[in-house]
Amino acid sequence: MTPGARIQAAIELLSAIHAGAAPADRAAAAFFRARRYIGGSDRRAVLDAVYAVLRHMAKLDWWIDRAYPERPEGGQEVPDIERARVIAKLVLIDHWTADKVAGSFDGGQYRPKPLNRSERSFAKEMEGADLRHGEQPKWVRFEFPAWIEPYLISQFGPNFEREMAAQLEEAATDLRTNSLKATREEAIAALRNEGIDSAPTPLSPLGLRISGRPPLANLKCFQDGLIEVQDEGSQLAALLVDARPGQRVVDFCAGAGGKTLAIAAAMKNKGKIVACDTLKGRVERAGERLKRAGAFNVERRGLESERDPWVKRHAGTFDRVLVDAPCSGAGTWRRNPDAKWRLSPDDLTRLTALQKSILDSAQRLVKPGGRLIYATCSLLAQENDQQVEAFLANHPDFAAVPVADVWQQVIATDCPAREATLSLTPLRHGTDGFFVAVMERRKAASNPDQAPDPAVDDSEA
């Protein structure tokens, strides 16, 4: 592809991402499936351009508001915002001149139509400027929605700017060694044999970190199930479930099954895991991953809602219940820079209510002496410690188990947690933002919803 054709593809992909509800990675996969003629190196170049725009969109939009000429017919909207963002990216990030931009926007085959007068003036206005400008407010400099700033400042205090700067860095690619099939040393050797250098992650005893974005799905060690793609923070959340061989475990919000796979490995395929989700298609699609990993003790179950009758029928029968709750995803903005701009204050209100409801329902599954593990990939106290505090206040038969104690039993290294719960951030730990709390049911259930149903057939668990 010519440089102009790559630019046009980037504009089209950005339009597809912002026109739909799918995350950027899924929108990109669909985009390239429909354009199989785009080769690997061109695909990578298009993705790099698109993600550069997504990672710096607040600053690019700030420059568009500042430097784009008067809108036609007095309107406030830029006629083609994705074109404008790409033009701004070429000038401010790639340091192209306006003439060079015009050379690729020449209307040739597969290339963008020529710049109009406003676009040419816009490109010229930005020549020699810096993407970062002293007049940009904090939410623009650190690329997050303005409304969420008070929550983040409250969470991080004097470390706010450093934490947000770390969120702008590109995340590493982390892998989890599948201990059902290999040791970490064997996985390192298998990757090396296929030309991929990897190094152990500092916190997870199963983790490997690689540089770049190699096509992992094409690797034999991936196809054979020796490794899975999983951020180190997510690996730690699964380890802190402390699932043991022979136990009965529920992954209540299993999604595509990443933590389910890790739990199955910890259990050495002994015992039973039920992977639940209200998004039934996702939990069903996990079947191929489970087969590849050699995880055979997993039942997949779609739920109508968090209060599906299945929960009441199996109350008080599980040793471990993991609630990896739907959340804002504020801890994953390094990987999913488009997600932050889809988030609204109403979404946060809805999500915190849903998290409370999920916890209230899922706790019924925990047997006396069993544990409820609550996790999110959020940085916000409203979704993390405040949820746990409210849950414990409303459920006095549960008590917090210090994460450091569980860490010592399972991982046996120095725990990074300073409080009873674990809060990981990109700045402090080099992981995605993750939160984990462990709570144990101390007393026997005192009401029918928390007592095992004697009519339950264990084969249907």
Q: Would you please indicate which residues are annotated as catalytic (active-site) residues? A: 377
Tokens representing 359 are 């916890």
Nearest CA-CA partner of 299 in 365, 248, 364: 248
Amino acid 185 reads E
The answer to whether 103 touches 125, Cβ cutoff 8 Å, is no
Amino acid 431 reads T
Tokens representing 309 are 């009758």
CB burial string 189-227: b at 16+ within 10 A, e below: ebbeeeebebebbebbbbbbbbeeebebeebebbeebbb
The answer to whether 362 touches 250, Cβ cutoff 8 Å, is yes
The answer to whether 366 touches 399, Cβ cutoff 8 Å, is no
What CA–CA distance (Å, rounded) separates 304 from 161? 41
Q: Is 125 helix (H, G, I), strand (E, B) or coil?
A: helix
What CA–CA distance (Å, rounded) separates 271 from 253? 19
Give percent helix, percent strand, percent coil of the chain, each to the nearest 5: 50, 15, 40
The helix (H) or strand (E) run that includes residue 211 is none
What CA–CA distance (Å, rounded) separates 252 from 431? 23
Which pairs count as long-range contacts for 279-282, CB under 8 Å and 24+ apart, including other chains?
279/255, 282/254, 282/255, 282/256
DSSP alpha helix (H) spans, 137-279 = 138-141, 149-156, 160-167, 184-193, 220-223, 232-239, 258-266
Q: Is 300 helix (H, G, I), strand (E, B) or coil?
A: strand
Nearest CA-CA partner of 432 in 212, 147, 166: 166
Place of tokens 């928390």: 450
CA 187 distance to own-chain centroid: 24
Q: What is residue 179's DSSP assignment?
A: T
Q: Give the phi and the psi of residue 333 in degrees, each rounded to 5.
A: -65, -25
Q: Is 438 helix (H, G, I), strand (E, B) or coil?
A: strand
